[in-house]
Amino acid sequence: MHLELPNDVILDTVRMRDVLAGLMDWKGKTARMLGTGDLVSLRRGLYASRRDLDPRCLAGPIYGPSYVSFETALAWHGMIPEGVTEILSATTKRPAGFENDFGRFRYLTIPKAVYPVGIQRVTESDLPFLIASPTKALADRIAREAGFRSMADVARWMEGMRVETGGGLDRDELAACAERYGRPSVRWLLRFAEKNQLTR
């Protein structure tokens, strides 16, 4: 029995039981489908029925609430040149990590107050997913840095990361991140962006 479910790209255990209703050994059938590659395990109790999926689409279903951010989002937006070897996401839950056939997924905790700021919904592989805007991704990333005491620290960090903003940072969004994060690095980023006309 081959899965032909265009509307069920991602399935959990409950959905698999419904799909395979009528089979006495639906758990065994699920295991055999995993063995033949008709299903791909994402984590315990969660599966994908296709292999041609963009891994970023899978980050939210694997562990949520979450959205793709940090270096993964910065690379997506063309703000840093480096390729990213794992999918990094922000979450309000405890940090977590998963690895499957699609790659490595890591989740870093951010404050609940800052979570809803600057989240975009995009679609790849016919699946929608949430990703930080360019401004939010930069704020999320720099918020993890300690010891910032001036705009010079921001300048050095931006140069080291090879960040290119193109002057397109959202001033209101960045101000909201600075207020809600309460981190010196994000506050200095706001001042640096305003002084160097990186905001719109």
Per-residue pLDDT of the chain (200 residues), as tens digits, is: 444 443 578 988 888 878 777 667 777 888 888 888 889 999 999 999 899 999 999 999 999 999 999 999 999 999 999 777 899 999 999 999 999 999 999 999 999 999 999 999 999 888 899 999 999 999 999 999 999 999 999 999 999 999 999 889 999 999 999 999 999 999 999 999 999 999 98
198 closest CA partner among 131, 142, 117: 142
Coil, strand or helix: which one is 4? coil
H helix and E strand count, the chain: 8, 9
Residues 6+ apart with CB under 8 A from 84: 71, 72, 75
Residues 6 or more apart whose Cβ sits within 8 Å of residue 79? 134, 137, 138, 163, 164, 165
pTM of the model: 0.91
Distances (CA, A) of 126 to 9, 32, 73, 105: 9, 26, 19, 20
CB 48 within 8 A of CB 9: yes
